[in-house]
């Protein structure tokens, strides 16, 4: 469980840090060629790359989650039997209830 929380924490920090770093680098001309671009183009490109970087981090987190070993969890048998009984009680109409469609036909 600790490894899952660690992965979540790391990817959460990356989801904040990477886009901010991209925006900072573009706005301070740290990328080669970004100084030659118009302010409109710098804003557009940096915003687009920041959004793409967030999606890449999310995909990386999903990849890590898919690689996480899944252990088979067996549900509590008592809980399962009580759940099945409650569902059957809701689905199966009681014999005292009339179907609603036949009562409408009798009135007509």
More confident residue, 106 or 93: 93
- According to the model, what pLDDT value does residue 72 have? 65
Measure the CA–CA gap between 67 and 3, rounded to whole angstroms: 12
Summarize pLDDT for 27-50 with one digit per residue, the tens: 888 878 878 888 898 889 999 999
The structure's pTM equals 0.58
Q: What three-state secondary structure class fits 107?
A: helix
Write down the H helix ranges in 1-108: 2-27, 39-67, 77-91, 100-107
Q: How confident is the model at residue 53 (pLDDT cuts 50, 70, 90)?
A: very high
At which residue do the structure tokens 């118009």 appear?
A: 38
Q: How confident is the model at residue 73 (pLDDT cuts 50, 70, 90)?
A: low
- According to the model, what pLDDT value does residue 1 have? 64
């Amino acid at each position: 469980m600790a490894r899952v929380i660690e992965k979540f924490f790391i990817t959460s920090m990356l989801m904040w840090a990477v886009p901010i770093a991209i925006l900072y680098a573009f706005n301070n001309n740290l990328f080669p060629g970004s100084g030659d671009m118009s302010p409109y183009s710098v804003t557009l490109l940096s915003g687009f790359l920041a959004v793409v970087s967030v999606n890449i981090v999310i995909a990386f987190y999903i990849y890590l989650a898919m690689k996480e070993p899944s252990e088979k969890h067996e549900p509590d048998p008592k809980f399962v039997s009580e759940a099945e009984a409650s569902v059957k009680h809701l689905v199966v109409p009681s014999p005292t209830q009339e179907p609603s469609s036949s009562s409408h036909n009798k009135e007509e």
